[in-house]
C-alpha cells in the first residue's frame, strides 16, 4: 500500500450509476480535479450505506473543495441502480449525490490493492489534480470511515499543494503550519513548546 502514495493513480474505466442513469466513468474524467475514491464491500449491506450516505450528505463540502467523490464496489451497475432506488429507511441509499462505479471484474480493487475474499475492503484514496495518490487508508469490513477526517486530510493536502508549507499532526485550516526546512521548522517548534 505504501508504494501507492506519491504514485500515479491506477487507471480505470467502469460502468457506473449516476442520478438514476447508466454511464461510464474513467480516471481521466477527473484530471485537473481532486478525487476521493471510496471503495466499499457490497451493496445492500450494513456499514456501507452509513458511509455512502454520510459522504453524500457532505457532498457540498467536497464540491466547495473542487473534489469529486466516487463510490466503488464489486457489484454490477444493475445492483447499484436498485440500491440507489431503495429508500434510506429500508437500508437503501436513495438520493445519493455521487456516482457508484461497478468493478464487476474486480480489476480496480486489485489495482488499488484492496481486494480481499472477493470484495473490496474499505479503501479510501485521495487523488490530486495531477492524478497522484496523496492519501490512502484501508479499513477492514467492520468499521466505517470518517467524513470529517477525510475532509481534514483533503484540506491539508490542498494547503500543502498551494502553499508549499507542511501541516503538523491534527492540523485544521487556520492552524499554524511550518516551513519544510530545519530553520523554518524551528519557528513552529518554538511557538508550540
Active site residue 167: no
Tell me the C-alpha distance between 124 and 153, whole Å: 12
**The one catalytic residue among 25, 36, 38, 48:** 48
Tell me the C-alpha distance between 63 and 150, whole Å: 13
Distance of alpha carbon 160 from the chain centroid: 18
- Single out the residue of 94, 91, 99 nearest to residue 25, CA to CA: 99
3-state secondary structure 24-49: EEEHHHHCCCEEEEEECCCCCCCHHH
Give me the active site residues, please: 48
Amino acid at each position: 500500500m505504501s508504494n501507492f502514495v506519491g504514485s500515479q493513480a491506477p487507471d480505470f474505466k467502469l460502468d457506473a450509476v449516476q442520478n438514476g442513469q447508466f454511464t461510464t466513468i474513467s480516471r481521466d474524467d477527473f484530471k485537473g480535479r481532486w478525487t476521493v475514491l471510496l471503495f466499499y464491500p457490497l451493496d445492500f449491506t450494513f456499514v456501507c450505506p452509513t458511509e455512502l450516505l454520510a459522504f453524500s450528505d457532505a457532498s457540498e463540502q467536497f464540491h466547495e473543495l473542487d473534489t469529486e467523490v466516487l463510490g466503488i464496489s464489486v457489484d454490477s451497475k444493475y445492483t447499484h441502480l436498485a440500491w440507489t432506488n431503495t429508500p434510506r429507511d429500508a437500508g437503501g441509499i436513495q438520493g445519493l449525490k455521487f456516482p457508484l462505479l461497478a468493478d464487476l471484474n474486480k480489476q480496480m480493487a486489485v489495482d488499488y490493492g484492496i481486494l480481499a475474499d472477493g470484495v473490496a475492503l474499505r479503501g479510501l484514496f485521495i487523488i490530486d489534480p495531477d492524478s497522484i495518490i496523496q492519501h490512502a487508508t484501508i479499513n477492514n469490513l467492520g468499521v466505517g470511515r470518517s467524513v470529517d477526517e477525510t475532509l481534514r486530510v483533503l484540506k491539508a493536502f490542498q494547503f500543502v499543494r498551494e502553499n508549499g508549507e507542511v501541516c503538523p499532526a491534527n492540523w485544521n485550516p487556520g492552524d499554524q503550519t511550518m516551513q519544510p526546512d530545519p530553520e523554518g521548522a524551528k519557528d513552529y517548534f518554538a511557538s508550540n513548546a
